Amino acid sequence: MFSRKSALFGERRKSFNKYWLILLLPLGWLLSALSREHSRWTEKYYSGGIYKGISWLIGKLLGWIPFSVGEMLAAALLLIVLWRLAALIRGMIRDRRGRWIRLRNFVLNALLAVSLIDSLFLVLWGFNYNRLSFSEITGLEIQPSSTEELVQMSQKLAKDANTLRKDVSENPSGVMIPFGGAEGGFRRCYRGYEAASRYVPELKGVRSRPKPLLFSPAIAYTHIWGIYCPFTVESNVNMKIPTPMILSTMMHEMAHQLGFAREDEANYIAYLTCSLHPDADFQYAGALFALDYTLDTVYGLDGKAYRELYNGLDKKVRRDLAENGKYQEKYDGPIRRASSRSNDLYLKANHQEDGERSYGRMVDLLLAQYRYEKGN
Protein backbone atom coordinates (compact mmCIF):
# COMPACT_ATOMS: atom_id res chain seq x y z
CA MET A 1 0.00 0.00 0.00
CA PHE A 2 2.79 2.37 0.94
CA SER A 3 4.65 1.62 -2.26
CA ARG A 4 1.56 2.28 -4.38
CA LYS A 5 0.98 5.64 -2.68
CA SER A 6 4.63 6.52 -3.08
CA ALA A 7 4.48 5.65 -6.75
CA LEU A 8 1.32 7.72 -7.20
CA PHE A 9 2.87 10.67 -5.34
CA GLY A 10 6.01 10.36 -7.44
CA GLU A 11 3.99 10.35 -10.66
CA ARG A 12 2.04 13.46 -9.60
CA ARG A 13 5.25 15.20 -8.60
CA LYS A 14 6.79 14.34 -11.96
CA SER A 15 3.73 15.77 -13.75
CA PHE A 16 3.89 18.94 -11.63
CA ASN A 17 7.58 19.39 -12.42
CA LYS A 18 6.72 19.17 -16.11
CA TYR A 19 3.51 21.15 -16.35
CA TRP A 20 4.64 24.19 -14.40
CA LEU A 21 6.61 25.06 -17.56
CA ILE A 22 3.26 26.06 -19.07
CA LEU A 23 3.70 29.24 -17.03
CA LEU A 24 6.46 30.19 -19.48
CA LEU A 25 3.68 31.19 -21.91
CA PRO A 26 2.27 34.14 -19.87
CA LEU A 27 5.79 34.96 -18.69
CA GLY A 28 6.87 35.29 -22.33
CA TRP A 29 3.94 37.61 -23.06
CA LEU A 30 4.90 39.76 -20.08
CA LEU A 31 8.54 39.99 -21.17
CA SER A 32 7.45 40.80 -24.71
CA ALA A 33 5.24 43.62 -23.43
CA LEU A 34 8.12 45.00 -21.37
CA SER A 35 10.52 44.86 -24.33
CA ARG A 36 7.91 46.69 -26.43
CA GLU A 37 7.69 49.44 -23.83
CA HIS A 38 11.49 49.76 -23.82
CA SER A 39 12.24 49.42 -27.52
CA ARG A 40 15.58 51.26 -27.26
CA TRP A 41 16.83 48.71 -24.75
CA THR A 42 15.53 45.92 -26.96
CA GLU A 43 17.38 47.44 -29.92
CA LYS A 44 20.64 47.86 -28.03
CA TYR A 45 20.81 44.73 -25.90
CA TYR A 46 18.74 42.14 -27.76
CA SER A 47 18.68 43.00 -31.50
CA GLY A 48 22.13 44.58 -31.44
CA GLY A 49 23.68 42.08 -29.05
CA ILE A 50 22.03 38.84 -27.92
CA TYR A 51 20.33 38.12 -31.24
CA LYS A 52 23.51 38.74 -33.21
CA GLY A 53 25.29 36.12 -31.13
CA ILE A 54 22.43 33.64 -31.50
CA SER A 55 22.18 34.09 -35.27
CA TRP A 56 25.95 33.83 -35.69
CA LEU A 57 26.14 30.56 -33.75
CA ILE A 58 23.13 28.83 -35.35
CA GLY A 59 24.03 30.21 -38.77
CA LYS A 60 27.52 28.72 -38.50
CA LEU A 61 26.13 25.36 -37.39
CA LEU A 62 23.38 25.00 -40.01
CA GLY A 63 24.11 27.51 -42.76
CA TRP A 64 26.36 25.15 -44.73
CA ILE A 65 23.62 22.51 -45.11
CA PRO A 66 22.22 22.80 -48.69
CA PHE A 67 18.59 22.05 -47.76
CA SER A 68 16.29 23.72 -45.26
CA VAL A 69 16.65 22.13 -41.83
CA GLY A 70 13.70 24.20 -40.62
CA GLU A 71 11.48 22.71 -43.33
CA MET A 72 12.45 19.20 -42.22
CA LEU A 73 11.72 20.08 -38.58
CA ALA A 74 8.31 21.48 -39.54
CA ALA A 75 7.46 18.31 -41.47
CA ALA A 76 8.57 16.16 -38.52
CA LEU A 77 6.49 18.25 -36.10
CA LEU A 78 3.41 17.87 -38.31
CA LEU A 79 3.87 14.08 -38.37
CA ILE A 80 4.28 13.98 -34.57
CA VAL A 81 1.09 16.01 -34.06
CA LEU A 82 -0.88 13.75 -36.41
CA TRP A 83 0.54 10.64 -34.71
CA ARG A 84 -0.37 11.95 -31.24
CA LEU A 85 -3.89 12.82 -32.39
CA ALA A 86 -4.35 9.35 -33.85
CA ALA A 87 -3.06 7.79 -30.61
CA LEU A 88 -5.47 9.93 -28.58
CA ILE A 89 -8.49 8.93 -30.67
CA ARG A 90 -7.52 5.25 -30.60
CA GLY A 91 -6.97 5.34 -26.83
CA MET A 92 -10.30 7.08 -26.15
CA ILE A 93 -12.12 4.47 -28.21
CA ARG A 94 -10.44 1.53 -26.46
CA ASP A 95 -10.55 2.91 -22.91
CA ARG A 96 -13.81 4.79 -22.43
CA ARG A 97 -13.39 4.99 -18.66
CA GLY A 98 -10.07 6.77 -18.89
CA ARG A 99 -10.82 8.86 -21.98
CA TRP A 100 -11.21 12.16 -20.11
CA ILE A 101 -7.88 11.59 -18.35
CA ARG A 102 -6.30 10.93 -21.74
CA LEU A 103 -7.89 14.07 -23.17
CA ARG A 104 -6.75 16.15 -20.18
CA ASN A 105 -3.19 14.89 -20.52
CA PHE A 106 -3.23 15.55 -24.26
CA VAL A 107 -4.38 19.16 -23.74
CA LEU A 108 -1.81 19.74 -21.00
CA ASN A 109 0.96 18.29 -23.17
CA ALA A 110 -0.17 20.47 -26.08
CA LEU A 111 -0.09 23.56 -23.87
CA LEU A 112 3.35 22.55 -22.63
CA ALA A 113 4.62 22.18 -26.20
CA VAL A 114 3.14 25.55 -27.26
CA SER A 115 4.67 27.19 -24.19
CA LEU A 116 8.14 25.81 -24.89
CA ILE A 117 8.01 26.62 -28.61
CA ASP A 118 6.72 30.15 -27.97
CA SER A 119 9.44 30.79 -25.37
CA LEU A 120 12.11 29.50 -27.72
CA PHE A 121 10.69 31.65 -30.53
CA LEU A 122 10.90 34.79 -28.40
CA VAL A 123 14.45 34.12 -27.24
CA LEU A 124 15.77 33.13 -30.66
CA TRP A 125 14.07 35.89 -32.69
CA GLY A 126 10.64 37.08 -31.56
CA PHE A 127 11.80 40.03 -29.43
CA ASN A 128 12.92 41.66 -32.70
CA TYR A 129 9.28 42.65 -33.23
CA ASN A 130 9.79 45.13 -30.39
CA ARG A 131 13.00 46.79 -31.56
CA LEU A 132 13.16 50.36 -32.89
CA SER A 133 11.45 50.88 -36.23
CA PHE A 134 13.62 51.00 -39.33
CA SER A 135 12.67 54.64 -39.84
CA GLU A 136 13.99 55.46 -36.35
CA ILE A 137 17.20 53.55 -37.02
CA THR A 138 17.86 55.27 -40.36
CA GLY A 139 16.32 58.68 -39.69
CA LEU A 140 13.81 58.33 -42.54
CA GLU A 141 10.82 60.55 -41.83
CA ILE A 142 7.42 58.88 -42.18
CA GLN A 143 4.67 61.41 -42.86
CA PRO A 144 1.38 61.69 -44.74
CA SER A 145 1.74 62.10 -48.49
CA SER A 146 -0.42 63.29 -51.33
CA THR A 147 -1.60 61.17 -54.24
CA GLU A 148 0.44 63.44 -56.50
CA GLU A 149 3.63 62.63 -54.61
CA LEU A 150 2.85 58.91 -54.72
CA VAL A 151 2.30 59.09 -58.48
CA GLN A 152 5.57 60.98 -58.97
CA MET A 153 7.48 58.34 -57.04
CA SER A 154 5.77 55.58 -59.03
CA GLN A 155 6.80 57.33 -62.25
CA LYS A 156 10.42 57.22 -61.09
CA LEU A 157 10.15 53.50 -60.25
CA ALA A 158 8.50 52.85 -63.62
CA LYS A 159 11.33 54.67 -65.39
CA ASP A 160 13.92 52.65 -63.45
CA ALA A 161 12.14 49.38 -64.30
CA ASN A 162 11.85 50.27 -68.00
CA THR A 163 15.55 51.13 -68.19
CA LEU A 164 16.84 48.14 -66.23
CA ARG A 165 14.62 45.62 -68.04
CA LYS A 166 16.85 45.89 -71.12
CA ASP A 167 19.81 44.47 -69.19
CA VAL A 168 18.30 41.29 -67.72
CA SER A 169 17.84 37.73 -68.94
CA GLU A 170 14.50 36.12 -69.76
CA ASN A 171 13.11 32.64 -70.32
CA PRO A 172 11.63 31.38 -73.61
CA SER A 173 8.28 32.90 -72.58
CA GLY A 174 9.88 36.33 -72.39
CA VAL A 175 9.70 36.55 -68.57
CA MET A 176 12.63 37.87 -66.54
CA ILE A 177 14.90 35.33 -64.82
CA PRO A 178 17.95 35.91 -62.59
CA PHE A 179 21.43 35.63 -64.06
CA GLY A 180 22.41 31.98 -63.59
CA GLY A 181 18.87 31.11 -62.55
CA ALA A 182 17.70 31.00 -58.94
CA GLU A 183 20.95 29.33 -57.88
CA GLY A 184 22.87 32.26 -59.32
CA GLY A 185 20.72 34.57 -57.22
CA PHE A 186 21.34 32.53 -54.07
CA ARG A 187 25.10 32.83 -54.61
CA ARG A 188 25.09 36.59 -55.21
CA CYS A 189 22.36 37.96 -52.95
CA TYR A 190 24.72 38.87 -50.07
CA ARG A 191 26.36 41.56 -52.23
CA GLY A 192 23.28 43.74 -51.93
CA TYR A 193 23.52 43.63 -48.14
CA GLU A 194 27.23 44.37 -48.26
CA ALA A 195 26.50 47.49 -50.31
CA ALA A 196 23.56 48.58 -48.12
CA SER A 197 25.53 48.11 -44.89
CA ARG A 198 27.78 51.02 -45.90
CA TYR A 199 24.78 53.28 -45.33
CA VAL A 200 22.92 51.26 -42.69
CA PRO A 201 25.37 49.32 -40.46
CA GLU A 202 22.49 47.26 -39.01
CA LEU A 203 22.22 45.53 -42.41
CA LYS A 204 25.61 43.93 -41.98
CA GLY A 205 26.06 40.36 -40.77
CA VAL A 206 24.15 37.96 -43.05
CA ARG A 207 24.92 34.50 -41.62
CA SER A 208 23.85 32.14 -44.38
CA ARG A 209 22.50 32.26 -47.90
CA PRO A 210 18.81 31.57 -48.60
CA LYS A 211 17.67 28.04 -49.32
CA PRO A 212 15.02 26.64 -51.69
CA LEU A 213 12.01 24.97 -50.09
CA LEU A 214 11.82 21.28 -51.03
CA PHE A 215 8.04 21.25 -50.63
CA SER A 216 7.55 24.30 -52.87
CA PRO A 217 4.88 22.59 -55.05
CA ALA A 218 2.68 22.14 -51.96
CA ILE A 219 3.59 25.46 -50.31
CA ALA A 220 2.63 27.30 -53.51
CA TYR A 221 -1.04 26.67 -52.68
CA THR A 222 -0.64 28.70 -49.48
CA HIS A 223 0.60 31.72 -51.51
CA ILE A 224 3.56 31.96 -49.13
CA TRP A 225 6.52 33.26 -51.14
CA GLY A 226 9.19 32.80 -48.50
CA ILE A 227 9.57 31.62 -44.92
CA TYR A 228 12.10 32.64 -42.32
CA CYS A 229 12.71 29.93 -39.71
CA PRO A 230 13.95 31.58 -36.50
CA PHE A 231 14.78 28.22 -34.91
CA THR A 232 17.40 27.45 -37.56
CA VAL A 233 18.25 30.99 -38.80
CA GLU A 234 17.30 30.03 -42.36
CA SER A 235 15.82 32.18 -45.11
CA ASN A 236 13.68 29.94 -47.31
CA VAL A 237 12.21 30.65 -50.75
CA ASN A 238 9.21 29.04 -52.46
CA MET A 239 10.65 28.10 -55.85
CA LYS A 240 7.24 28.13 -57.55
CA ILE A 241 6.74 31.89 -57.27
CA PRO A 242 7.06 34.04 -60.42
CA THR A 243 10.72 34.21 -61.46
CA PRO A 244 10.77 38.05 -61.54
CA MET A 245 10.00 38.02 -57.80
CA ILE A 246 12.51 35.39 -56.66
CA LEU A 247 15.38 37.82 -56.02
CA SER A 248 13.32 40.33 -54.00
CA THR A 249 11.85 37.45 -51.98
CA MET A 250 15.36 36.26 -51.11
CA MET A 251 16.26 39.73 -49.89
CA HIS A 252 13.02 40.00 -47.89
CA GLU A 253 13.70 36.78 -46.00
CA MET A 254 17.33 37.78 -45.40
CA ALA A 255 16.06 40.98 -43.76
CA HIS A 256 14.23 38.76 -41.26
CA GLN A 257 17.49 36.88 -40.72
CA LEU A 258 19.12 40.17 -39.69
CA GLY A 259 16.43 40.70 -37.08
CA PHE A 260 14.00 42.97 -38.94
CA ALA A 261 10.78 41.17 -38.11
CA ARG A 262 8.12 43.61 -39.36
CA GLU A 263 6.87 42.79 -42.85
CA ASP A 264 6.75 46.36 -44.19
CA GLU A 265 10.35 46.89 -43.14
CA ALA A 266 11.52 43.59 -44.64
CA ASN A 267 9.80 44.59 -47.88
CA TYR A 268 11.50 47.97 -47.94
CA ILE A 269 14.89 46.44 -47.07
CA ALA A 270 14.40 43.99 -49.95
CA TYR A 271 13.95 46.96 -52.29
CA LEU A 272 16.87 48.87 -50.80
CA THR A 273 19.34 45.98 -50.96
CA CYS A 274 18.25 45.06 -54.48
CA SER A 275 18.62 48.64 -55.71
CA LEU A 276 22.14 48.89 -54.25
CA HIS A 277 23.21 45.47 -55.56
CA PRO A 278 25.96 45.68 -58.21
CA ASP A 279 24.09 43.38 -60.64
CA ALA A 280 21.34 44.58 -62.98
CA ASP A 281 19.02 41.62 -62.35
CA PHE A 282 18.79 42.46 -58.64
CA GLN A 283 18.36 46.16 -59.38
CA TYR A 284 15.51 45.42 -61.77
CA ALA A 285 13.93 42.95 -59.35
CA GLY A 286 13.93 45.64 -56.64
CA ALA A 287 12.37 48.27 -58.89
CA LEU A 288 9.73 45.82 -60.10
CA PHE A 289 8.95 44.70 -56.54
CA ALA A 290 8.48 48.28 -55.30
CA LEU A 291 6.53 49.24 -58.41
CA ASP A 292 4.11 46.36 -57.88
CA TYR A 293 3.20 47.77 -54.45
CA THR A 294 3.00 51.43 -55.48
CA LEU A 295 0.82 50.61 -58.48
CA ASP A 296 -1.62 48.79 -56.20
CA THR A 297 -1.73 51.84 -53.93
CA VAL A 298 -2.23 54.26 -56.82
CA TYR A 299 -4.97 52.03 -58.23
CA GLY A 300 -6.95 52.41 -54.99
CA LEU A 301 -6.59 56.21 -55.03
CA ASP A 302 -6.65 57.35 -58.66
CA GLY A 303 -7.72 54.99 -61.41
CA LYS A 304 -6.77 57.40 -64.20
CA ALA A 305 -3.23 57.90 -62.85
CA TYR A 306 -2.88 54.13 -62.51
CA ARG A 307 -3.82 53.55 -66.16
CA GLU A 308 -1.35 56.20 -67.32
CA LEU A 309 1.40 54.63 -65.25
CA TYR A 310 0.63 51.12 -66.42
CA ASN A 311 0.38 52.12 -70.08
CA GLY A 312 3.75 53.84 -69.79
CA LEU A 313 5.47 50.62 -68.77
CA ASP A 314 7.60 48.69 -71.23
CA LYS A 315 5.64 45.69 -72.53
CA LYS A 316 8.27 43.38 -71.02
CA VAL A 317 7.79 44.96 -67.59
CA ARG A 318 4.03 44.49 -67.93
CA ARG A 319 4.63 40.87 -68.86
CA ASP A 320 6.71 40.35 -65.72
CA LEU A 321 4.04 41.96 -63.53
CA ALA A 322 1.37 39.78 -65.17
CA GLU A 323 3.17 36.69 -63.85
CA ASN A 324 1.89 37.56 -60.36
CA GLY A 325 -1.70 37.38 -61.52
CA LYS A 326 -1.11 34.06 -63.27
CA TYR A 327 0.47 32.62 -60.15
CA GLN A 328 -2.37 33.73 -57.88
CA GLU A 329 -4.98 32.37 -60.26
CA LYS A 330 -3.19 29.03 -60.63
CA TYR A 331 -2.75 28.40 -56.91
CA ASP A 332 -5.92 30.02 -55.57
CA GLY A 333 -8.26 27.97 -53.41
CA PRO A 334 -9.31 27.13 -49.84
CA ILE A 335 -5.72 26.38 -48.75
CA ARG A 336 -4.63 29.87 -49.80
CA ARG A 337 -7.54 31.48 -47.94
CA ALA A 338 -6.88 29.46 -44.78
CA SER A 339 -3.17 30.27 -44.96
CA SER A 340 -3.94 33.96 -45.44
CA ARG A 341 -6.17 34.03 -42.36
CA SER A 342 -3.53 32.20 -40.30
CA ASN A 343 -0.79 34.58 -41.42
CA ASP A 344 -3.03 37.56 -40.68
CA LEU A 345 -3.64 36.29 -37.14
CA TYR A 346 0.08 35.59 -36.63
CA LEU A 347 1.02 39.13 -37.66
CA LYS A 348 -1.64 40.69 -35.43
CA ALA A 349 -0.53 38.51 -32.52
CA ASN A 350 2.93 40.03 -32.98
CA HIS A 351 1.51 43.55 -32.84
CA GLN A 352 1.38 44.27 -36.56
CA GLU A 353 -2.14 45.58 -36.21
CA ASP A 354 -2.79 45.76 -39.96
CA GLY A 355 -2.16 42.04 -40.32
CA GLU A 356 -1.37 41.08 -43.91
CA ARG A 357 -1.98 44.66 -44.99
CA SER A 358 1.23 45.57 -43.15
CA TYR A 359 3.20 44.24 -46.13
CA GLY A 360 1.95 47.24 -48.12
CA ARG A 361 3.14 49.80 -45.58
CA MET A 362 6.53 49.62 -47.28
CA VAL A 363 5.17 52.40 -49.51
CA ASP A 364 5.50 54.80 -46.55
CA LEU A 365 9.21 53.96 -46.34
CA LEU A 366 9.62 54.27 -50.10
CA LEU A 367 8.05 57.73 -49.95
CA ALA A 368 10.32 58.71 -47.06
CA GLN A 369 13.37 57.72 -49.12
CA TYR A 370 11.95 59.54 -52.19
CA ARG A 371 11.57 62.75 -50.19
CA TYR A 372 15.05 62.40 -48.72
CA GLU A 373 16.60 61.95 -52.18
CA LYS A 374 14.69 64.93 -53.57
CA GLY A 375 15.92 67.13 -50.75
CA ASN A 376 19.58 66.15 -51.12
Q: Which of 228-242, 294-308, 349-363 has the lowest mean pLDDT?
A: 349-363
Q: Give the separation between CA 334 and CA 331, rounded to whole angstroms.
A: 10
Burial class of residue 344 (count of CB atoms within 10 Å of its CB; 0-12, 13-18, 19+): middle
Write out the E strands in the chain: 169-170, 176-177, 211-212, 226-229, 234-237
The pTM of the full predicted model, rounded to 2 decimals, is 0.88
List the beta bridge partners of residue 91.
none
Q: Which residues contact 14 (CB under 8 A, 6 or more apart)?
A: none
CA angle 333, 336, 338 (to 5 degrees): 110
Q: Do the strands 176-177 and 169-170 form a parallel or antiparallel pair, or are they unpaired?
A: antiparallel
Tell whether the torsion through CA atoms of 46, 340, 238 and 162 is positive or negative: negative
Q: For 105-151, how does the pLDDT look when each residue is reduced to its tens digit (9 = 90+)?
A: 888 888 999 999 999 999 999 999 999 999 999 999 988 888 899 99
Q: For 247-275, how does the pLDDT look when each residue is reduced to its tens digit (9 = 90+)?
A: 999 999 999 999 999 999 999 999 999 99
Check: CB of residue 189 under 8 Å from CB of residue 45: no
Q: Give the separation between CA 54 and CA 49, rounded to whole angstroms.
A: 9
